[in-house]
C-alpha cells in the first residue's frame, strides 16, 4: 500500500540526504543478512486485494472517501484513484488449511467492503481492467487526495517531460495520449506473497520468474481497454507504459522501465535486486527520516528501513522483493504482482495455490533452475502469456522445447504444483479443490479474459445494441456472477438483458456511444470522393479534417444531394472537380467526449442536426449521430430536462454555430 507521508522535491540537499539514508539502509540490510538477523524456519503466505468501485450504471464510481468514512476495518485503504479500493489479508503459515482460510478471509472482507460500498451508493467489481472505464474517468479530479499520489504523479510527469503516448496492439489497436499517471489506476491485481529465508532467496526468486508465464496464462482477466480487444492480460502492457519515464530520443541506449520483469537471473542474494534498482532508478519521492538503522541494530532493535522501502515502492518489478516484519522479526518475501484481480475469490485463491505450489514444487525438483533454461526465454514466455494467454507457446526447461501453454499446465505443471503443496503440508481436500479449478479452467479454455471476449462476441452476433451497452451488460453480469461465487469456468456468458440501456443512458457521456472508426476527407479532395464514401460505407455524414486531425468541416447527405442536383441541372460534366471546401459546413457544432449524452441529444434537437463530431484537445476523435440515440432520446429528454430552452450550449468543441452552419432536420 505504501507510505503516504511522502513528498516530491527538487531540493538538492533534501535529495542528497534521502539518498544517504537509502545507502545506509542498503548497508544495514546487507549487515542483517550477513549476521543472520532474519526469521528462519517459517514459511508464510499472504495476499493483497485491489478492486474497482462502480455506480448503479456499472461505470467507475469515485466514492472511495465516502466508503472509507464508514469503515472500521483498518485494512481497507485507498489506492491511486478514487474508484479503487485495496486491502491486505493477514499472512498465515504455509500448510494445513491456509488456502481455505485465505478464501474465507478474502470472502468475508469482500462482503464487508461490499456492504460499505453499497451504503455509499456503489458496487464492487473484481477484474484486472474495468471494461466500462473511459478516458474521461482518468482526470486528476479522480486521483485519490493523498500526498503520496500527488507526489508520485508530479515526479513521474517531470521525468517524462510531457504527455505519454500509449500504444498497445492486439486484435484491435490502442493509440492514446494522456498527461498523468491515472492510467495506472485502470489496473487492479491480486498480489500474492511468499516468505523466504535470505539464503534461499535467489533460488526461489529465479523459480518465481520461471513460473510467471504459465501462472499468468491460466489466470488472464484483462482483455479489454476502452472497448478495444488487446492482450489477454492487457494490464502487463498498460501498467508498464503508465509509469514509463524513458525517452524515445536516446538512439540505442538500453533503459529499463520502472515496471519491468527484470534484466537477468539473481545470482546469490536479494541485495542484487535492491542495488540494481537503486542504480537504475533515481529517487523520485522522499520523506522525513529519523531512524539510524545501525543505531537501532546496536540497541537490539529491528530497523524499518523506511528509505529502502519507499524507493522499492516506486519500482514495480512483476516479482518484487519485499522487506518486512512479523511480530518484531524481520523477513524477506517475494511479492507476485502478476495475477489480475478476479474473477471470484475462489479463482483468485486457485491462482495463488497454483503459484505457491509451482514455486515449491520446482524448488524440490531443481537446485538451480538456471541450468535448465536461459533468462531471455523466461522473459519471452512471460510476454507471450500476457499477449495470448492459454494460446501461448512456451519454451520450457529440459530441452527448452516449445509446448502449448494448456498442454504444459495440464500434463506437467499441475502435478508439479500438487507435489509442492503436498510437501508443504497443505490439506489434501484443498489441493484438490483449488488445483481442480485451474484444471477445469484450462480444459475448458474459459479464463476470465475468454469469458469477457466470448460474451461480447455473443452479444454482438445477436445484434445487442451499441458497444457501450454491451460493455455495461458485461460488467453487470460480472458483478452478479462474482457474488454467486462459482469459478469463472462455470459462468454462462453475459447477455444484453443484464443491463438496462434506458436507465443508464441518462447518466452516460458521449464517449460511451461515439463511433471512433471514422472515414474522413480533406477539404481539397473532390466532392465526388465524398459521394463514394457515403455510398460505399453507408454513412450519411463525412467529416473533414486537416493533416493534424483537426476538425474543419462536415458534409451531410442532404448537402451532397443538393450539390449533385445543381450539378445535373447545369449539365456541365466537363467542369473541373469541385473541392470539398465549397460544399462543406465550416466549423460544425462539435462536442467533447465527456459531455453528458442527454446534453448531446438536446444539442442536436436545438440545432436540428443529425450528427455531432467529437473533439478532444483540438483533434477529431469520433462522431455521434441521431441513430445512436433515436430509440430513447425523447424519453430521456422528457425525464432530464423541463424544456430545451434550459439546455446550455457546450463550449468544448472546435467552433460555434452560425446561421447556415447547421443541416436541415433529419441530417
- pLDDT of 382 over the 50 cut: yes
Give the helix/strand (H/E) hosting 555: strand 551-556
Q: Looking at the structure, tell me whether residues 54 and 181 fall in a common domain.
A: yes
One-letter-per-residue 3-state SS of 435-468: HHHHHHHHHHCCCHHHHHHHHHHHHHHCCCCCHH
Residue 395 located in a structural domain = yes
**DSSP annotation string for 328-353:** TEEEEEEEE--SBP-S-HHHHHHHHH
Confidence at 588, pLDDT banded by 50, 70, 90: very high
Give the helix/strand (H/E) hosting 638: helix 633-640
Please give the pLDDT value at position 557.
86
Burial track 263-287 (b if 16+ CB lie within 10 A, e otherwise) = eebbeebbbbbbebbbeebebbbbb
Q: Looking at the structure, tell me whether residues 514 and 438 fall in a common domain.
A: no
Asked which of 412, 444, 476 is the last residue of a domain, the reply is 444
Write the pLDDT tens digit of every residue in 613-667.
999 888 999 999 887 776 555 444 444 544 444 433 333 333 333 333 343 333 3
Please give the pLDDT value at position 152.
86
Round to whole Å and give the CA distance between 121 and 472: 17
- pLDDT of 589 over the 90 cut: yes
Report, in this order, helix, strand and coil percent for the chain, each rounded to 5: 45, 20, 35
Round to whole Å and give the CA distance between 171 and 168: 10
Among positive and negative, which fits the CA dihedral 591, 137, 514, 510?
negative
Please give the pLDDT value at position 163.
81
- pLDDT of 259 over the 70 cut: yes
Q: Looking at the structure, tell me whether residues 431 and 542 fall in a common domain.
A: no
For residues 579 and 525, the answer to whether their CB atoms sit within 8 Å is yes
Please give the pLDDT value at position 253.
46
Instruction: Find the mean pLDDT for residues 396-404.
Output: 87
Write the pLDDT tens digit of every residue in 475-485.
999 999 999 99
Could you tell me if residue 575 is left (phi over 0), alpha (psi between -120 and 50 degrees) or otherwise beta?
A: beta
Residue 300 located in a structural domain = no
Residue 110 located in a structural domain = yes
Distances in Å between the Cα of 87 and the Cα atoms of 48, 63, 97, 126 are 6, 16, 21, 13
Q: What percent of the chain has pLDDT over 70?
A: 88
Please give the pLDDT value at position 579.
93
Q: Looking at the structure, tell me whether residues 151 and 268 fall in a common domain.
A: yes
Reduced to 3 states (helix: H, G, I; strand: E, B; else coil), residue 186 is helix
Q: Looking at the structure, tell me whether residues 396 and 515 fall in a common domain.
A: no
Is the model more confident about 28 or about 468? 28
Residue 90 located in a structural domain = yes
For residues 418 and 431, the answer to whether their CB atoms sit within 8 Å is yes
Please give the pLDDT value at position 399.
76
Instruction: Give the total number of structural domains in the chain.
Output: 2
Q: Looking at the structure, tell me whether residues 274 and 186 fall in a common domain.
A: yes
Reduced to 3 states (helix: H, G, I; strand: E, B; else coil), residue 322 is strand
Please give the pLDDT value at position 470.
92
Residues with Cβ within 8 Å of residue 214, at least 6 apart in sequence: 358, 381, 385, 394, 405, 408, 409, 413
The least confident of 385-389, 422-426, 449-453, 634-638 is 634-638
Q: What percent of the chain has pLDDT over 90?
A: 67
pTM of the model: 0.86
Asked which of 422, 444, 466 is the last residue of a domain, the reply is 444
Please give the pLDDT value at position 660.
34
**DSSP annotation string for 99-140:** HHHHHHHHHHHHHHHHHHHHHTT-EEE--SB-TT--GGGGSG
- pLDDT of 246 over the 90 cut: no
For residues 129 and 234, the answer to whether their CB atoms sit within 8 Å is yes
Is the model more confident about 266 or about 178? 266
- pLDDT of 234 over the 80 cut: yes
Is the model more confident about 356 or about 12? 356
Chain-wide mean pLDDT for the chain? 88
Residue with cell 456503489: 122
Is the model more confident about 436 or about 290? 436
**DSSP annotation string for 591-626:** B-TTSBHHHHHHHHHHHT-SEEEEEETTEEEEEEEH
Instruction: Find the mean pLDDT for residues 428-439.
Output: 98
Write the pLDDT tens digit of every residue in 522-536.
999 999 899 899 889
- pLDDT of 162 over the 70 cut: yes
Residue 303 located in a structural domain = no
- pLDDT of 338 over the 90 cut: yes
Round to whole Å and give the CA distance between 239 and 340: 12
Strand partners, 92: 45
Confidence at 14, pLDDT banded by 50, 70, 90: confident
Please give the pLDDT value at position 209.
98
Q: Looking at the structure, tell me whether residues 434 and 526 fall in a common domain.
A: no
Q: Looking at the structure, tell me whether residues 434 and 345 fall in a common domain.
A: yes
Please give the pLDDT value at position 443.
98
- Residue 563: what are its φ and ψ, rounded to 5°? -65, -45
First to last CA, the chain: 53
Residues with Cβ within 8 Å of residue 495, at least 6 apart in sequence: 458, 459, 464, 473, 477
Residue 311 located in a structural domain = no
Is the model more confident about 467 or about 404? 404
Round to whole Å and give the CA distance between 621 and 362: 50
Asked which of 444, 460, 494 is the last residue of a domain, the reply is 444
Q: Looking at the structure, tell me whether residues 420 and 520 fall in a common domain.
A: no
Please give the pLDDT value at position 27.
97
For residues 337 and 219, the answer to whether their CB atoms sit within 8 Å is no
Round to whole Å and give the CA distance between 341 and 48: 10
Please give the pLDDT value at position 6.
64
Please give the pLDDT value at position 156.
83
- Residue 592 sits in a domain whose CATH number is 3.10.580.10
Eight-state DSSP code of residue 431: H
Please give the pLDDT value at position 8.
59
Strand partners, 177: 165
Q: Looking at the structure, tell me whether residues 433 and 514 fall in a common domain.
A: no
- pLDDT of 60 over the 60 cut: yes
Q: Looking at the structure, tell me whether residues 114 and 255 fall in a common domain.
A: yes
Residues with Cβ within 8 Å of residue 403, at least 6 apart in sequence: 393, 394, 396
Please give the pLDDT value at position 442.
98
- pLDDT of 53 over the 60 cut: yes
Q: Looking at the structure, tell me whether residues 420 and 560 fall in a common domain.
A: no
Write the pLDDT tens digit of every residue in 176-188.
888 888 999 999 9
Please give the pLDDT value at position 346.
98
- Residue 255 sits in a domain whose CATH number is 3.30.590.20
Strand order of the β-sheet with 520-521 is 520-521, 541-545, 551-556, 585-586
- pLDDT of 409 over the 90 cut: yes
Residue 498 located in a structural domain = no
Confidence at 147, pLDDT banded by 50, 70, 90: confident
Residue 51 located in a structural domain = yes
Round to whole Å and give the CA distance between 232 and 456: 14
Please give the pLDDT value at position 577.
85
Range of the structural domain that residue 633 is part of: 510-646
Round to whole Å and give the CA distance between 45 and 28: 25
Is the model more confident about 289 or about 5? 289
Amino acid at each position: 500500500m505504501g507510505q503516504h507521508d511522502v513528498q516530491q522535491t527538487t531540493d538538492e540537499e533534501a535529495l542528497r540526504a534521502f539518498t544517504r539514508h537509502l545507502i545506509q539502509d542498503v548497508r544495514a540490510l546487507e549487515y542483517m543478512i550477513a549476521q543472520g538477523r532474519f526469521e528462519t524456519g517459517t514459511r508464510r503466505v499472504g495476499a493483497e486485494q485491489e478492486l474497482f468501485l462502480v455506480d448503479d450504471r456499472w461505470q467507475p464510481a469515485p466514492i472511495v472517501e465516502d466508503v472509507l468514512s464508514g469503515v472500521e476495518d483498518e485494512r481497507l485503504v485507498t489506492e491511486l484513484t478514487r474508484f479503487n479500493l485495496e486491502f491486505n489479508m493477514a499472512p498465515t503459515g504455509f500448510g494445513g488449511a491456509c488456502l481455505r482460510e485465505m478464501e474465507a478471509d478474502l470472502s468475508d472482507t469482500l462482503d464487508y467492503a461490499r456492504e460499505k460500498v453499497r451504503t455509499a451508493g456503489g458496487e464492487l467489481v473484481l477484474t484486472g481492467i474495468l471494461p466500462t472505464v473511459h478516458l474521461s474517468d482518468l482526470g486528476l479530479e479522480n486521483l485519490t487526495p493523498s500526498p503520496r499520489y500527488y507526489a508520485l504523479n508530479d515526479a513521474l510527469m517531470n521525468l517524462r517531460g510531457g504527455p505519454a503516448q500509449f500504444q498497445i496492439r492486439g486484435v484491435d489497436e490502442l493509440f492514446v495520449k494522456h498527461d498523468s499517471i491515472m492510467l495506472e489506476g485502470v489496473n487492479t491485481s491480486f498480489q500474492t506473497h511468499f516468505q523466504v529465508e535470505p539464503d534461499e532467496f535467489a533460488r526461489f526468486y529465479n523459480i518465481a520468474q520461471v513460473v510467471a508465464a504459465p501462472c499468468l496464462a491460466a489466470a488472464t482477466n484483462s482483455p479489454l481497454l476502452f472497448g478495444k480487444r488487446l492482450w489477454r492480460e492487457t494490464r502487463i502492457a498498460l501498467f508498464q507504459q503508465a509509469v514509463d519515464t524513458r525517452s524515445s530520443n536516446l538512439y540505442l541506449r538500453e533503459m529499463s522501465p520502472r515496471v519491468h520483469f527484470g534484466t537477468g537471473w539473481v545470482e546469490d542474494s536479494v541485495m542484487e535486486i535492491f542495488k540494481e534498482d537503486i542504480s537504475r532508478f533515481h529517487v523520485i519521492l522522499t520523506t522525513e527520516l529519523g531512524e539510524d538503522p545501525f543505531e537501532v541494530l546496536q540497541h537490539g532493535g529491528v530497523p524499518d528501513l523506511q528509505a529502502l522501502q519507499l524507493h522499492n515502492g516506486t519500482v514495480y518489478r512483476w516479482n518484487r522483493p519485499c522487506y518486512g516484519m512479523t511480530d518484531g522479526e524481520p523477513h524477506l518475501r517475494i511479492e507476485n504482482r502478476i495475477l489480475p484481480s478476479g474473477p471470484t475469490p475462489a479463482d483468485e485463491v486457485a491462482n495463488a495455490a497454483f503459484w505457491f505450489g509451482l514455486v515449491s514444487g520446482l524448488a524440490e525438483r531443481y537446485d538451480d533452475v538456471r541450468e535448465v533454461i536461459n533468462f531471455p526465454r523466461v522473459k519471452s514466455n512471460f510476454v507471450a502469456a500476457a499477449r495470448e494467454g492459454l494460446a501461448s507457446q512456451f519454451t520450457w526447461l529440459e530441452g527448452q522445447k516449445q509446448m502449448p501453454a494448456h498442454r504444459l499446465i495440464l500434463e506437467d505443471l499441475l502435478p508439479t504444483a500438487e507435489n509442492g503443496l503436498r510437501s508443504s503440508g497443505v490439506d489434501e481436500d484443498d489441493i484438490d479443490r483449488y488445483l481442480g479449478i485451474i484444471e477445469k479452467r484450462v480444459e475448458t479454455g474459459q479464463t476470465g479474459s475468454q469469458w469477457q471476449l466470448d460474451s461480447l462476441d455473443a452479444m454482438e452476433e445477436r445484434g445487442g445494441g451499441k458497444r457501450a451497452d454491451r460493455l455495461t451488460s458485461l460488467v453487470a453480469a460480472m458483478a452478479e456472477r462474482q457474488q454467486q461465487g462459482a469459478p469463472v469456468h462455470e459462468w454462462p456468458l453475459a447477455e444484453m438483458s443484464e443491463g438496462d440501456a434506458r436507465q443508464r443512458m441518462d447518466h452516460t457521456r458521449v464517449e460511451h456511444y461515439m463511433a471512433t472508426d471514422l472515414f474522413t476527407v480533406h477539404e481539397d479532395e473532390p466532392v465526388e470522393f465524398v459521394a463514394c464514401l457515403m455510398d460505399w460505407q453507408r454513412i450519411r455524414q463525412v467529416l473533414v479534417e486537416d493533416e493534424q486531425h483537426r476538425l474543419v468541416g462536415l458534409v451531410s447527405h442532404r448537402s451532397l444531394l443538393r450539390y449533385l442536383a445543381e450539378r445535373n441541372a447545369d449539365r456541365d460534366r466537363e467542369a473541373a472537380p469541385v473541392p470539398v471546401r465549397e460544399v462543406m459546413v465550416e466549423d460544425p457544432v462539435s462536442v467533447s467526449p465527456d459531455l453528458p449524452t442527454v446534453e448531446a441529444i438536446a444539442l442536436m434537437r436545438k440545432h436540428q442536426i443529425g450528427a455531432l463530431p467529437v473533439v478532444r484537445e483540438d483533434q477529431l476523435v469520433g462522431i455521434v449521430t441521431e441513430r445512436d440515440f433515436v430509440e430513447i432520446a425523447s424519453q430521456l429528454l422528457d425525464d432530464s430536462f423541463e424544456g430545451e430552452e434550459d439546455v446550455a450550449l457546450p463550449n468544448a468543441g472546435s467552433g460555434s454555430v452560425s446561421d447556415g452552419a447547421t443541416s436541415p432536420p433529419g441530417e
